[in-house]
Amino acid sequence: MGGMEKKEIKDPDIFYSLDKDNNILAVGPGWDEFAAENGAPELESKNLIGKPVLNYFFDEATRRLYVRMFERVRKTGEQISFEYRCDSPSLRRYMRLAVSPSSDQGVTILSETLSKEPREEECFQWVRTPGAAQRKARLRNMVLMSACGVCSKVQVRSGDWVEIERALKGMDLTTEPWFPLLTSTICSQCEDMLGTSQD
């Protein structure tokens, strides 16, 4: 994007392993660092070991995706690796996830940051600091919009999947101070790419 400098910040690689029932066995040293940097002490390793990993995916579409990936890796004995996005209002993160088989029908998961770049943060101003009037307006004007948990694109009324900045530019947020409620799912293109769509 014009005038935006590429920002390279090293994130710790995130590693964790699961048993055959998808309970968390262990996490790598970058896990607690990442949890601390993101203000999530409840996600530190001491609170996770022995718990089902699916407890930490907050939507059904993402849970289904990961269950299918884990099952496929266990069945084939082959690694699945793909690139995905993990964004914040100020940053677009390009990442790679690898799911590999391990002993006793377990799996290991490695997530690494490939690169980062700033994004048009002003698109998200209202979300970060909503006032009481804006919160009421949001409830009055609730609009659901699907967001893909892999590529981070959102689905607009035409059915197309686009970057959220593009979707927001089509909405007049100056006269109607609301923001769409994002519901997480997996777009059909990402399901096809991962080979996890149901037969």
Average pLDDT over every residue of 83-102:
87
Domains with residue ranges and CATH for the chain? 14-119 (3.30.450.20), 121-185 (no CATH)
Q: Specify the pLDDT at position 125.
A: 52
The better pLDDT of the pair 148, 127 is held by: 148
Quick check: 121 pLDDT over 70?
no
Is the pLDDT score of 135 beyond 80? Answer: no
Burial degree of 32 (CB within 10 A; 0-12, 13-18, 19+): middle
189-199 tens-digit pLDDT: 888 888 755 44
Average pLDDT, the chain: 78
- The predicted-structure confidence for 148-177, as pLDDT tens digits, reads as follows 888 888 888 788 898 887 877 766 554 444
Mean pLDDT value across residues 65-81: 93
Q: d(Cα 50, Cα 25) in Å, to the nearest integer?
A: 6
Q: For residues 181 and 94, which has the higher predicted lDDT (pLDDT)?
A: 94
Would you state the pLDDT for residue 129? 47
Condensed to tens digits (0 to 9), the pLDDT of residues 14-30 reads 889 999 999 999 998 88
Whether pLDDT at 179 is above 70: no
Average pLDDT for 38-64:
87
**What 3 state SS string does the chain have?**
CCCCCCCCCCCCCEEEEECCCCEEEEECHHHHHHHHHCCCHHHCHHHCCCCEHHHHCCCHHHHHHHHHHHHHHHHHCCCEEEEEECCECCEEEEEEEEEEECHHHCEEEEEEEEEEEECCHHHHHHHHCCCHHHHHHHHHCCCEEEEECCCCCEECCCCCEECHHHHHHCCCCCCCCCCCEEEEECCHHHHHHHCCCCC
pTM, two decimal places: 0.68
The CA–CA distances, whole Å, from 111 to 25, 66, 93, 94, 188 equal 16, 14, 12, 11, 22
Q: How far is CA 163 from CA 60, 110, 128, in A?
A: 22, 26, 19
Q: Please, which contacts does 127-133 make with residues 24 or more away whose CB atoms are closer than 8 Å?
A: 127/89, 127/179, 128/89, 133/177
Q: What percent of the chain has pLDDT over 90?
A: 28
Confidence check: pLDDT of 4 > 60? no
CA distance 24 to 52: 6
Given a cut of 90, is residue 98 above it in pLDDT? yes
